[in-house]
Amino acid sequence: MTTVTLREHSKIPSEPLKLSQKDLDWIINENNDEEKVHNQKKLEIIHSAEGKVKLKAKGYVGAISLPSGIIINIEPKIEKNSWENLFKLFEYTENIEPKYDGGHVFAEKGDSLWDIFANIFIKNTMYLIHTGLYRTYISKTEEITAIKGRLLITQNIRSPQKFRTKHWCEFDELSYDVLENQLVLFCTSLLVKKVKNNKTKQELIRIKNIIQSQDVTLKTKFSLSDANLIVITRMNKKYEPVFSYCKLILENFAYKKFSNIGQIEIPSFTISMWKLFENFVAKALTEHTNEDITSTLKEKKKNILESISDYPNRKIYATNTPKLEPDHTLTKNNEKLILDTKWKSSVSSNDWYQMITYALAFKCDIVLVLPKFDKNYSDGFKIPEEFDLSELTIHVKTIDFERASESHDFIVNLKSQIHEIVDEINFK
């Protein structure tokens, strides 16, 4: 089995891979799935002049399994404690409070992302086991020796016995075989299949055996829609961190049906960095301490041509900007400020058009927030002379991930940087 490791947004560093036609078909179809809405791809196929094929990682990190068995490991741009900090971001944006003492314990050097993730899953799940698995009363209908609950007259008449020793009854029984535990058991079983570290695998098997010892049913299938049926209440709230990870597992184990390769399961594990970054900024803004500033997610879409109908170069914006839906709208004393996020290290021409269009359409200043990963990054953003924004300003700000990684608390440092950005911008 071939395993290739590369960094987010980088090309395969070696010779072109020998990809099967199924591999190529899978990559093409995967990119044409839901990600096409956001113009985001997991992998990009690059054809050379010699007819050879290379792959380039896009806005996702994780482990991608191709139909031929080739595994593509994509590491995040975050340098220091990359996976640990990545999962800290995930926990923060998903409102996960880890239910275990001590910090994260990660797999050994050389282990896969599945192993790393499994260690986090194990610690949260063991907390559930140590504090007691959730159980509740469930309705049962059985033929039993002693009458219990409600006697079912009709069923008993239909099953005559010469000497009646059993009776059909309907009753409530305290049971661990509930949807919550079935979900955890199912996801544990999936992880057992993926991890390579023997110690991690044995821990997962131990968890699986403990849950099954309580007569919890191991379902053959468990979809994301099944998981969404679970309602968090006061009684099962401690399961919430584990549920977030379970849903992530189910998302990555989904069956894909493609017309040219049929139905195939490719259990990969990927996290969308652009989505994670956007969600992080959104939550950090809601926690801003300045009570004078309010934040609104996803400003209502505007028709581009109508919004800038009086502007002479409106066709340029309409051509280059697919939508007018900024990520965040900040309001202070009835003054508005648009804040948009992009998980990229430079500003493209399309980004220029988009930010300029926002400024003209919403008639306010714009703040574009980008991540910063190295000390040589440039914050410069110069408006081309042909565009007259009058009194409007486009600010480009960066969140320094390297600085945050070196700090005592990664998340706290990132949040403080967001708050500093908002505080230093003057509302007009």
E strands of 307-355, at which residues? 328-332, 335-341
| Number of domains the chain contains | 4
Q: Is residue 342 part of a domain?
A: yes
- Whether residues 248 and 126 fall in one domain: yes
- pLDDT on residue 309: 45
Q: Is residue 279 part of a domain?
A: no
- Whether residues 1 and 25 fall in one domain: yes
Helix (H, G, I), strand (E, B) or coil at 309: coil
- Whether residues 222 and 291 fall in one domain: no
- pLDDT on residue 126: 92
- Whether residues 232 and 302 fall in one domain: no
Q: Is residue 361 part of a domain?
A: yes
- Whether residues 143 and 29 fall in one domain: no
Q: Is residue 258 part of a domain?
A: no
- pLDDT on residue 384: 53
Which has the closest alpha carbon to 108: 173, 33, 25, 195?
195
- Whether residues 29 and 44 fall in one domain: yes
Tell me the CA distances in angstroms from 186 to 45, 131, 222, 286, 388, one per residue in order: 34, 20, 7, 35, 58
Domain containing 67: what range?
1-75+263-270
- Whether residues 165 and 183 fall in one domain: no
Write out the H or E segment, with its range, that includes residue 57.
strand 53-57
Place of tokens 């309010």: 294
- pLDDT on residue 255: 46
Q: Is residue 277 part of a domain?
A: no
Q: Is residue 199 part of a domain?
A: yes
Q: Is residue 397 part of a domain?
A: yes
Q: Is residue 281 part of a domain?
A: no
- Whether residues 126 and 97 fall in one domain: yes
The tokens for 222 are 């468990």
- pLDDT on residue 205: 96
SS3 percent helix, strand, coil of the chain, rounded to 5, is 40, 20, 40
- Whether residues 171 and 183 fall in one domain: no
Instruction: Look at residues 270, 300, 319 and tell me which one is the last residue of a structural domain.
Output: 270
- Whether residues 201 and 303 fall in one domain: no
Per-residue pLDDT reduced to its tens digit, 97-153: 766 554 445 545 556 778 888 888 998 899 999 999 999 888 888 887 787 778 887
Chain-centroid distance, C-alpha 126: 23
Place of tokens 């609104």: 296
Instruction: Look at residues 175, 201, 229 and tell me which one is the last residue of a structural domain.
Output: 175
Per residue of the chain (428 residues), give pLDDT as tens.
577 777 776 665 555 667 788 888 877 776 655 444 445 678 887 776 666 677 788 878 888 878 787 878 888 877 666 777 888 888 888 887 766 554 445 545 556 778 888 888 998 899 999 999 999 888 888 887 787 778 887 888 777 776 677 888 888 888 899 999 999 999 999 999 888 888 999 999 999 999 999 999 999 888 888 999 999 998 899 998 899 889 888 887 654 444 444 444 555 778 888 889 988 998 888 887 565 666 666 544 444 444 444 444 444 444 444 456 778 888 877 788 888 898 887 777 778 778 888 887 888 888 889 888 765 444 444 555 545 566 778 888 889 888 888 888 899 999 999 988 888 876 66
Which has the closest alpha carbon to 244: 120, 398, 415?
120
- Whether residues 218 and 86 fall in one domain: yes
Tell me the CA distances in angstroms from 16 to 4, 48, 125, 292, one per residue in order: 11, 9, 41, 55
CA dihedral angle for residue 16, residue 108, residue 211, residue 238, rounded to 10 degrees: -100
